[in-house]
Structures are given as C-alpha cells and as structure tokens.
C-alpha cells in the first residue's frame, strides 16, 4: 500500500469514528443545535459546488498561508542567529523568553488600530503567534548541536558562514518545520477568532454568521471547511518538510 493510500485510509477511519460519535450525540441530544452528520455531510457536498463557499475558503486560506510564510521567513533566520551566536542570544534571548508566555492574541486591537481592519492586522496576529513558536524551537534546535560538529568544520578551515550553512541550518530545519507543522492548528484557531468580526469573507465569518442566524447546518459547513483547511495546511507543511529535510530520510535508511 502506497503512502498516499495509507494516509487516505487513516483520514477515512478518523472521519468514520468521529461521524459515529457525532451521530450518537446528535441522537441523544435531539436538538437542532447538533444536526445529524449525514444531513451536514450532504449540505457540505452541495456547498462545495458553490462559489460562495470557495470565496470564504480562499479568503481564509490566503490569510493563513500568508501568516505562515511571514512567520517562518522572519522567525527561522532569527532563531538561527540566536542559537548560533552567544552574544546575540545574551542580548535578545531574555526578551524572547520573557515575552513568549504572553498571549499574543491580546494585541489584536493594537494591530487593528495600526494596520486597519483589513487582512494586514489578521495576518500579523497569526504570524506573531506562530513566529514565536518557530523562533524558540529553531533556537533550541541550534543550541542542541554538539560542539564536535562545529569543531570539525573549523578544523577544515570553515568560517562562520560555513558553520551556519553546513551545521546549524541542517540541524535547525527539522525543528523549524516541526514547529510550523504543529502550528497549523494554532493558526486555524486564531484565524477563526480574527475572522469573527470586521470582515465579510472567511470561514470564521461564515461560522459566526450562521450561528447568529441559528442556521446550524451552515455553521457546521463552515466548521468542516475550517477543518479541511487545517488538514490541507498540515499536509502541505509536512510535504515541504520531507522535501527540505530529505537528508534525514536518507540517514534513517
């Protein structure tokens, strides 16, 4: 069985189990708030054929992807610098560690004031939250490199650039991509929050709008759409990690 077939089978089994649990809860509650899964699944399939659903899905996907690219593009190089330079880590490391526990979502009003009500503020908040995870994980990955690898490059006449490129970068990439991959769930969760207001496009808006209208089938269509987006982002990040860190698979063989 190919890797793709195994992955499809695993997702299918998860969907089946969740569907059974959903059906039991729906039958037990007997409330319109939790409609039967088959009813929602049928409505979701119909929604996939409409441009309205894909307009919301595209808006959310663009925000999430832009935030992930921004977070990785800024936080990963900074993590390399902090992990590879004791001086830089001594100067900026305490600032990062002290601000890491602060819930970054509280800065959303600040970003809305500074960047306006458009996508900029929403992307910035998600990127800030995800960027801290990538930064700390990358820094720790570089700091975990055994000194013997650095000494071996120096003994061959390597300079700081060679150490960064040949030692720290390969060591940090798996850590950075792991943080990015695991952060997809956080990104989608924050995306739902920031799309709850000040917008008319996005799956978060679709969910809250349907909830306000007490159209619970439409609400679950949005929830399924956001779940689909999260799974797609996770698999895309996992694919990128396998391509960028192909040397790890070769080493395991």
Q: Both 51 and 16 in a single domain? A: no
Q: Both 75 and 17 in a single domain? A: no
The per-residue pLDDT for 220 is 93
Q: Would you say residue 198 has pLDDT above 80?
A: no
More confident residue, 144 or 215: 215
pLDDT in tens, 17-54: 888 888 888 888 777 788 888 889 999 999 988 889 99
Q: Both 11 and 59 in a single domain? A: no
The per-residue pLDDT for 66 is 94
Cα-based distances in Å from 219 to 61, 89, 174, 212? 18, 46, 37, 9
User: Averaged over 197-208, what is the pLDDT?
Assistant: 87
More confident residue, 41 or 101: 41
Cα-based distances in Å from 83 to 18, 75, 80, 159, 181? 42, 12, 5, 17, 21
The per-residue pLDDT for 77 is 92
Q: Both 88 and 1 in a single domain? A: no
- Find the CATH number of the domain harbouring 65: 1.10.3720.10
User: How many whole angstroms separate alpha carbon 244 and alpha carbon 178?
Assistant: 12
The per-residue pLDDT for 224 is 93
Q: Both 41 and 28 in a single domain? A: no
Q: Would you say residue 135 has pLDDT above 70?
A: yes
More confident residue, 155 or 132: 132
pTM (2 d.p.)? 0.85
Helices vs. strands in the chain: H and E counts, helices first: 12, 0
User: Averaged over 153-182, what is the pLDDT?
Assistant: 79
Q: Both 29 and 43 in a single domain? A: no
User: How many whole angstroms separate alpha carbon 207 and alpha carbon 222?
Assistant: 5
Residue-number span of the structural domain to which 26 is assigned: 1-34
Label residue 2 by pLDDT band (50, 70, 90): low
Structural domain total, the chain? 2
Cβ–Cβ < 8 Å for 156, 98: no
Q: Both 136 and 15 in a single domain? A: no
Q: Both 58 and 110 in a single domain? A: yes
């Amino acid at each position: 069985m190919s890797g793709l077939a195994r992955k499809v089978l695993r997702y299918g089994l998860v969907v089946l189990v969740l569907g059974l649990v959903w059906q039991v809860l729906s039958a037990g509650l007997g409330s319109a708030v939790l409609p039967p899964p088959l009813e929602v699944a049928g409505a979701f399939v119909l929604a996939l054929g409409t441009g309205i659903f894909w307009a919301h899905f595209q808006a959310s996907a663009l925000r999430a992807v832009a935030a992930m690219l921004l977070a990785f593009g800024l936080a990963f190089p900074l993590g390399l610098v902090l992990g590879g330079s004791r001086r830089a880590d001594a100067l900026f490391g305490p600032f990062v560690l002290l601000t890491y526990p602060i819930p970054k979502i509280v800065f959303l009003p600040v970003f809305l004031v500074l960047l306006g009500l458009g996508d900029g503020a929403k992307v910035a908040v998600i990127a800030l939250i995800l960027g801290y995870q990538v930064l700390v994980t990358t820094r720790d990955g570089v700091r975990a490199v055994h000194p013997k690898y650095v000494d071996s490059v120096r003994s061959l006449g390597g300079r700081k650039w060679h150490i960064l490129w040949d030692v720290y970068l390969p060591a940090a990439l798996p850590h950075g991509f792991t943080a990015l991959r695991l952060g997809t769930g956080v990104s989608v969760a924050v995306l739902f929050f920031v799309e709850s207001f000040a917008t008319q496009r996005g799956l978060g808006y679709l969910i809250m709008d349907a909830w306000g209208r007490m159209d619970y089938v439409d609400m679950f269509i949005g929830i399924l759409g956001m779940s689909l987006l999260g799974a797609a982002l996770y698999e895309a990040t996992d694919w990128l990690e396998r391509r960028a860190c192909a040397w790890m698979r070769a080493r395991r063989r």
